Structure 1
Amino acid sequence: MNTKILFLPAFLAMATFSFAATAYINQIGYHPANFKELTLFEGGGNVEFVDASGNTVLTVTPSEASTWNGSGQSVQLVDFTELKTPGTYSIKVNGQVVRKDLKIANDALDGVSKALLKFFYYQRASMALDETYAGKWKRSAGHPDMGVAFHSSATGGSGTLDSPKGWYDAGDYGKYIVNSGISTYTLLSLYEHFPAYFDNLKWNIPADGNLPDLLAEIKYNLDWMLTMQASDGGVYHKLTTLQFCGTVMPNEDVDTRYVIGKSTTATLDFAGVMAVAARVYEKFDATFAAKALEAAKKAYVWAESNPSTYYNQPRDVATGTYSDNNAKDEKNFAAAELFVTTKDASYALQGAYTTIPGWAEMNGLVTYTKATHPDLFSDAAAAKDSLLSAADRYAKNAATGFGVPMTKGDFYWGSNSVAANMGVWLLYAYYLSGDKKYYQSALKTLDYLLGKNPMDMSYVTGFGSKSPMHPHHRPSQADGVSEPVPGMLVGGPQPGGEDIGKNEWECKDYRVNGAPAKSYLDDECSYASNEVAINWNSPAAYLAGAIQAINSGHVPSFAAEGVIALPKTRPVLNTNDGAPKVRFDTHRVFIERNGIRYDLKGNRLGAAGRVE
C-alpha cells in the first residue's frame, strides 16, 4: 500500500512533464515589420524560434501567466516582434517542437484580405458565378427576383417589383436592407479611407466599367438596395421567401419570393448608406452618385414623417427579422452621413456616441463619422474622446490572454464580428491619435480571428493550418465541393446554444461550461456558431484590408501626425545604384533616388521631410 502511495506522485510528475505546450498563432502569417505575438498554454521556460536550416534565431522569455476568463486557461504571451526575416519557422518550448507553421512574409495577409472581400461576390444573387471567377465554386444563377410579389405587410406596394442583384445575407438566400446597410457602409468606408490603395487592388471579379473592384462589388448591392425604395421614399424591409428553404443551391430554391414590410430603421439605414455612396462614386459616375443622394434625401424625409414604423414579423413569415424598435441611432447615422455629403446644417444632430457598432446599434458609426470630421461637427472632440476611451479599454484587454479585446461577456451570437468590429474601432483610435498601442491591439485582434484563439483555428474558411470545413452556408453545403467557399468568417464561439436540441437536424451540446470562447462547433447544424453573414465578413474585410493598406504606405487623410505605415526599424536599403528605393523614417514612407527623397505621390521632399 505504501509503495503505491509513493509511486503515484512520481508517475504523475512524469506525465505532467511529458505534456507538450500549445502555441496559438496567426496561422496565415505576420508582416516582417509589424508587432508579432503568440499565446502559450502549458509552457515553461523560454520559447525558441528555429529557421528552416535548424538554427535558433530568436529566444524569448514569455510574460507572466494569467487566466483569461474567455476560456478559463492560464496562458502566457510571447512577443517575437524582433523576428523580421521572411520565412517559415518552427517553435520550440522546453526543447520540444510545438509548431512548424509560423510564417513571416511581406504578403502574408494578401490572400486572406482579398478573400474576405471576394466572399461578397460568392454571395451575389440573380447571376451565375462563372468558373473564370468562381473556380470550382461556380454555380447557376438563382433568384432573378423579377416580378416579385408584395406581401400584405409591404404597405403601399401594388402589382409586382423587379428587385434583382444584391447579396445573400448569410447562409440563407434572403436579402435584408438593415443588414445590408451596415455591411455596405463598412466596405464603403474602407474605400473612402484608402482610395489610392483600393483603386488598384484586384481579386478576380467581373468588371463594372471603370470602377475599382471594391466599388464594383459594393455597387452590385447598392443597385439592389435602390430597387427597394417605394415611390413615397420609404424602404421595404426585406426580400425573402416565407420560410427558409432546405439545403439546396440558389437555382433550386424556387419558392415564391416576397417584398416584406416597410420600416423606419431600414429606411434610415438606406439613407445613410446612399449618402456615403453619393460622395464615394461621384468621381466615377456622377449620374449614379446624384441618384443615390436623391434617394437618401427622399428616404430621410419619409422617416421623419414615419419615425416609429417598426418591423413586426408577419405570422406567415419565418425568415430573419432584423427587428429593432428604436430608430434614434439610425436617424443619427443617416443625418451624420447626409451632413458630411451635403454640408446642409439641418442634418447636424448632436450627441450619439457609443462603442462598437452592430446592425441594431448604428451610433457607433456616428462616433466614427463625427470623430473623423472635426471641421464639420461641433461635437467632434466629444466623439473622439468617447472613441479613445473605449479603445483604451480594448487595448488593456488585449494585453492579456489571447490578445483579443474581448472579455467573457462579449461572446454572444456572431462573436467573431464583435472581435472584428473591436479591431476596426482600434484602427480608428490609431488614425486619430497616432498611438501605436491601438494599432498593435488591432493586429492582435486579427491574429485572434486567424488562429490565435482557444480553438487553435483560423475562423476564415480556406485559410490557415486548421479552418472551418462545415459552415452553415447553403451553397457550400449543397455544391458537392468538399471545401467550403473560401474567405468566409464564421460566427464564432458563444454559449447561447440556440441550435442545440434532440431533433436530427439539431446539434448535440458543444458548449464548454465557463468557457464561452470554446463553445464552438464546426458542423453544418451549428447556425449559432458556424454560420456566415455579410455583416460579419465586412468588419473582418475592413480590418485586414486597412492593415494591408497601412503596410503598403497608405493612411487616411484625417490621420493624426505620427501615424506611420511601418516602424522605423525597417532596414534602410542601399541606394548607390541610382534605382528608386523605398525607405522608412520615424514618420513616413518615402522613395529615394540618387539621394533625393520623394513622397509616394512623387513630390520632392526637403531636408525636413516636407514637400518642397
Structure 2
Amino acid sequence: MYGIKNAIVLSLSVSLILSMTSCALQKSETDSQATATQSTSAATTGVNQTVEQLVSENIHVNQIGYFSSDKKIAVINGQYSSFNVVDATNNKVVLTKNLDGKVKDDSSGDTVCYADFSEITSAGQYYISIPELGKSYTFKIGDKSIYTGIADGMLKALYLQRCGIELDSNHAGEYTHGACHKSMAKIYGSDDKEIDVSGGWHDAGDYGRYVVPAAVTAADLLMAYEFYPNSFTDNTNIPESSNNIPDILDEAKYGIDWMLKMQDKLSGGVYHKVTAMGFPDMTLMPDIDVDDMYVMPISTTATADFAAVTAMAARIYKDINSGFSNSCLNASLKAWTWLENNSKFVEFKNPSDILTGEYGDNSGSDEIAWAAAELFRTTGEKKYGDYFVKNFHSNGFGLGWQNVSGYAAIAYMFCDSDKIDLKKSEEIRKSWIEKADMFVDTAKKDGYFLAMHKLEYTWGSNMNVANHAKHLLVADRLSNNEEYTETAKNAAHYLMGRNTLSQCYITGFGSKQVMQPHHRPSLGDTVKQPVPGLVVGGPNSTLDDSVSKSKLSGLAPAKCYIDDMSSYGTNEVATYWNSPAIFVFGYLNQQR
C-alpha cells in the first residue's frame, strides 16, 4: 500500500464465501440479478413499461438484502411522490407507498427522500420502482442467513491474502498461486544476518507484511469471536477447516504465528516490518516476486501492539490450544520486558532507500496502554492494571492502526478481575457511551443514516465506517440501546450499496461490483473477477493519487471514489479494513 502507511487516518470526536463453489453460485446469482435489471417481463402489473424498466443508480438499496424483521429503507436521490416494491420473480407490485422526507446530505451533496418498506417481511427477491425514475438493483429479504455468504467471504479473503503457502485450487478455487516469500529475510543494517519470517498476510495491495496493522487485524478477529462466538463456523474451506476450531480463530492464529517470528528472541523486541526495498510491479504475482526481503528495526509500536495481541491470544486460546496459548503469553511477557527496558520511545522511520509503507507514529503511549490492559485482563497481575490506570486517558478511543486506545479501553472495561479500578472503568465507560451518542447524532443528520462526518472521507474511509459501527456495538454491550445497533446496521447497508454511488464496496458481491481494485493478485492472475471478499478503501476527498486528482476533483466527499486499479487512494484493499467489517457482520450473523 502506498500512502496509507505514511498518512494519519482522520477520526473525528464530532468491509469469498464458504467455498469457491458457493462463490460461483454467488456470481451466478449476481449475474442473473444484473440481467433482471436490464429488462422487465411484459406481464408486469401496475408498473410503467418505459422508464421503470431501467435501473437507476439514484435509488440506493442494500444490494445483498435485509432481514425480514428489520427496518428496511431505500434512499432516493431526488424528490418524488411515491414508490412501489416489486416482486422480482413475477414483476408484480406488492406495496405502494408515499416517499418521505426532504433531506440535504452534506457529505454527498444529494437531496434525498426515503422509501420505507419495513412492512414487507416475506422472504423473496424484490426491487424498488419509481415511475418517473426507474428501478433499483434487486435485493433479498430473508432470515439471518442472508449475510452468511458475504461475511464468510470477507473472512475467506484473509486466507487469500496469506503469504508463505501455496494457495491450491481445493481451497482457493481460481485464485491460486505458488508458495511465496519463503526465503530468509535480511535484517536491515546488520552484517548479513538473516532470519525466517515467512507467513502472515500480505497487508494490502502489495506484498509487505507489517506488525502494526497485522496486530490490529488479528485483534479484530479475536474480539469478533469473543463477542459473537456463534457467528463463526468451521467450514469456510480453508486448510484448517473441520478441525473443530472456528475458522476465524485459525485465521487469526496464522497471522499471529508470523508475528511470533518477528520477535527478537534475545531482547523480546519486535521488528517493525518485512518488505522489499520498494513496491513490485502491479501485475506481478506473489510467487514471482523474488526481490530480497528486509526486516526493519525494532520499534515501540510494533512491540507494544505485539504484546497486546499475544496477550489476547493467550486468553482466548487457553482452552482451545493450550500450547499456542502458552507460547503467546510467554512472548507477550517478553515483549513487555523490552518495553520496560526501553522506556524512551523507539520510533520507526523508513531508511532513505526503503520505499514501502512506513506505518509510522510519533507516540507509543496508546500501544503500551493496550498491552498493559490486555496483560492485566489475561493475567490479573496488579502491575499491569496499575500502569494502565496511571497512563490511560479517555480521549478519543481510536480503533485503527495508528490509535489503538479503543482496544485498550475495551480490554479494561470487560476485564472481570476483582482488582479492576471501578472508578477508572466507569470513567472509560461514560466516555465510550458519549462518543457512541455522538455517532448516533451524526447518523441522524446524515442523508444516508451514516455515522460519518464529511471530513472523515479520507484514505480508508470504509475503515472509519466499520470502526464507528464497531464502537457502537461495543456501546450496546455496555448500555443496551437500539439506536446503537440500528446505526451500526446502517453502516453495513452503506458498505453493501446503500450509498450515494450505489457501489457495493466488497469485491465479488452486490450488483454494482468493484472490478478494478488496487490489488496485485487481482491484476496479475488470469481470472476476470477480482479476488472476492476484499473491502476497498472507499471515498477519499484528499485525492491522494493522480487518477483521483484528474477524475474526482470538485466532487463532494462521499462521491470521491473511482473503481480504477491505479487509484490506490480510493480502491486499494487492506486486511485491517476487512477485519472491523468482519466484526460488524459477526453481530449481524450471531443467529446463523
TM-score by length of 1: 0.82
SS in structure 2 of the partner of residue 39 of structure 1: strand
Deviates further, 211-220 or 479-488: 211-220
Q: 2:194 aligns with which of 150, 160, 163?
A: 160
Match of 2:181 among 128, 133, 143: 143
8 Å CA contact 1:168, 1:175 repeated in 2? yes
Q: Which residue of 2 aligns with 1:129?
A: 167
- CA deviation map 1:65-117 (0-9, x unaligned): 11111111111233322221111112122466412502112222110000111
**Are the equivalent residues in 2 in contact too, given 1:234–1:267 (CA < 8 A)?**
yes
Cα distance in 1, alignment partners of residues 545 and 56 from structure 2 = 34
Unaligned runs of 5+ in 1: 1-14, 501-505, 553-612
Tell me, yes or no, if the aligned pair for 1:21 and 1:43 is still in contact at 8 Å. no
Q: What is the aligned partner in structure 1 of residue 274 from structure 2? A: 239
Alpha-carbon separation, structure 2, partners of 1:340 and 1:158? 40
* Equivalent in the alignment of 2:81: 45
1:514 deviates by 5.0
CA contact (8 A) 1:356 1:425 kept: no
The structure 2 residue matched to 1:251, chosen from 287, 299, 302, is 287
Q: Does 1:432 align with 2:432?
A: no
Q: Distance in 1 between matches of 2:330 and 2:369?
A: 18
Equivalent in the alignment of 1:220: 254
Given the alignment of the two structures, is residue 532 of structure 1 paired with residue 567 of structure 2, yes or no? Answer: no
Sort the Cα spacing of 1:305 and 1:19 in 2 relative to 1 into closer, same or farther, 3 A. Answer: closer
The SS at the match of 1:406 is coil
**Cα contact 2:548–2:569 (8 A) shared by 1:** no
What residue is the counterpart of 2:152 in the other structure?
Answer: 114
Deviates more, 1:90-99 or 1:421-430: 90-99
Q: 446-455 vs 354-363, which deviates more?
A: 354-363
Name the structure with the higher helix share: 2
Once the two structures are TM-superposed, the CA of residue 212 in structure 1 deviates from its matched residue by: 2.1
Cα separation, 2, equivalents of 1:483 and 1:438: 36
Cα 1:41/1:236, change in 2 over 3 Å: same
Structure 1 residue 436: Cα displacement? 0.8
Counterpart amino acid of 1:69?
D
One-letter code aligned to 2:571: N
Structure 1 pair 431–486 and aligned structure 2 pair: CA distance change class (3 A):
same
Letter in 1 for 2:62: N
1:374 Cα deviation after fit: 6.5
Relative contact order, CA 8 A, sep 6+: which one is greater? Answer: 2
- C-alpha distance in 2, partners of 1:195/1:54? 40
Match of 1:33 in 2: 69
CA contact 2:108–2:556 (8 Å) conserved in 1: yes
Shift of 1:476: 0.4
CA gap 1:396/1:57 in 2 versus in 1, 3 angstroms: farther
Contact 2:61 2:136 in 1 (8 A): no
Structure 2: runs of 5 or more not aligned: 1-50
Larger displacement relative to structure 2 (77-86 or 466-475): 77-86
Q: Among 190, 197, 205, which residue is 2:238 paired with?
A: 205
| Residue identity matched to 2:413 | A
Structure with bigger gyration radius: 1
1:448 and 2:484 correspond: no
1:384 CA displacement: 1.6
Alpha-carbon distance in structure 2 between the residues aligned to 1:473 and 1:324: 25
Deviation string, structure 1 residues 47-71 (Cα, Å, up to 9, x no partner): 2212244443333433321111111
Cα distance in structure 1, aligned partners of 2:367 and 2:410? 14
- Whichever residue aligns with residue 222 of structure 1, its letter is I
Task: Give CA-to-partner distance per residue, 1:499-528, whole Å, 9 cap, x none.
Answer: 11xxxxx66612242501111111110111
> 2 CA distance for matches of 1:328 and 1:335?
11
Counterpart of 1:442, as a letter, is: A
Cα deviations by residue, 1:403-444 (Å, 9 ceiling, x for unpaired): 211011111100011001111111112222221111111111
Counterpart contact for 1:449–1:460, Cα < 8 Å: yes
**Higher mean C-alpha displacement, 84-93 vs 205-214:** 205-214
State the one-letter code of the partner of 1:323: G
Residues of 1 paired with 2:292 and 2:118: CA distance? 56
Is the aligned partner of 1:509 residue 2:509?
no
- Figure out how many residues of one structure are paired with residues of the other and give that number: 525
Does residue 360 of structure 1 match 2:360? no
Question: With structure 2 as the length reference, what TM-score do the two structures score?
Answer: 0.85
Instruction: Name the CA distance, whole Å, in 1 between partners of 2:297 and 2:197.
Output: 15
Residue equivalent to 1:88: 125
8 Å CA contact 1:210–1:284 kept in 2: the answer is no
Q: Trace 1:217-366 onto structure 2 (pairs within 5 A).
A: 217-230=251-264, 231-247=266-282, 248-307=284-343, 308-348=345-385, 349-350=388-389, 351-353=392-394, 354-366=396-408
Separation of aligned partners in 2, 1:309 and 1:100: 52
Q: Distance in 1 between matches of 2:521 and 2:137?
A: 33
Aligned amino acid, residue 243 of structure 1: G
> Aligned partner of 2:154: which letter?
L
Q: Which range is displaced more, 507-516 or 471-480?
A: 507-516
Change (3 A) 1:283 1:96: same
Q: Relative to structure 1, is the Cα distance of residues 276 and 377 closer, same or farther in structure 2, using a 3 angstrom cutoff?
A: farther
Alignment CA distance shift 1:287-1:545 (3 Å): same
Kept after mapping to 2: 8 A contact 1:41/1:76: yes
Answer yes or no: is the 8 Å Cα contact 2:503–2:512 preserved in 1: yes
What letter is aligned with 1:162? D
Q: Distance in 2 between matches of 1:288 and 1:529?
A: 38
Question: What's the secondary structure of 1:528's corresponding residue?
Answer: helix
Match runs of 1:390-409 below 5 Å: 390-399=435-444, 400-409=446-455
**Letter paired with 1:263:** S
Aligned residue among 67, 75, 79 for 2:116: 79
The 10-residue stretch of structure 1 (398-407 or 251-260) with the greater mean CA deviation from structure 2: 398-407
Cα 1:197–1:514 shift into 2, 3 Å:
closer
Q: What is the alpha-carbon distance in structure 2 between the residues aligned to residue 98 and residue 207 of structure 1?
A: 43
- Give the structure 2 partner of residue 369 of structure 1: 411
- Letter of the aligned partner of 2:472 in structure 1? L
SS of aligned partner of 1:529? helix
Answer whether contact 2:61 2:137 (CA < 8 A) is retained. no
